[in-house]
Amino acid sequence: MNRTIGIAVIGFGWMGQAHSRGYRRTRQLFADADYGARLVICADDAPARRAHAASGFGFEHTTDDWRVAIEHPDVDMVSICAPNMLHEEIAVAAATLGKQVFCEKPVGGTPEQTVRAEKACRAAGVITGVGYNYRWAPLVQYTRQLIANGDLGEITNYRGRFFSMYGSDPLGLLSWRFLKDEAGYGVSSDILSHSIDLAHMLIGPITRVVGTAETFIRERPLPKPGTGTHYDRGAPGDPTGPVTNEDYFGAMVVFANGARGTFETSRSIIGPESENAFDVHGTKGAVHWNLERMNEMELYLSGEGPRGYRTVYSGDGFPYHGAFVAGTGNGIAYEDLVTIEDHEFLRAVAAGQPFTPGFAEAVDYVSVQAALLKSNESGHWEDVVSLRQD
Q: Parallel, antiparallel, or unpaired for β 248-255 and 310-313? A: unpaired
> Cβ of 214: how many Cβ atoms within 10 Å?
14
Model pLDDT for residues 141-193, shown as the tens digit of each residue: 999 999 999 999 999 999 999 999 999 999 999 998 999 998 889 999 999 99
Given a contact cutoff of 8 angstroms between Cβ atoms, the answer to whether 228 and 174 are in contact is no
Domain 135-355+365-374: CATH superfamily, name plus number: Dihydrodipicolinate Reductase; domain 2 (3.30.360.10)
Confidence of residue 21 (pLDDT cuts 50, 70, 90): very high
Domain locations in the chain?
3-133, 135-355+365-374
Which tens digit of pLDDT belongs to each residue from 275-291? 999 999 999 999 999 99
The 10s digit of each residue's pLDDT in 330-357 is 999 999 999 999 999 999 999 999 999 9
Q: What pLDDT, in 10s, does the model give residues 108-121? A: 989 999 999 999 99
CATH code at 3-133: 3.40.50.720
The pLDDT, as a whole number, for residue 330 is 98
Q: What is the pLDDT of residue 224?
A: 77
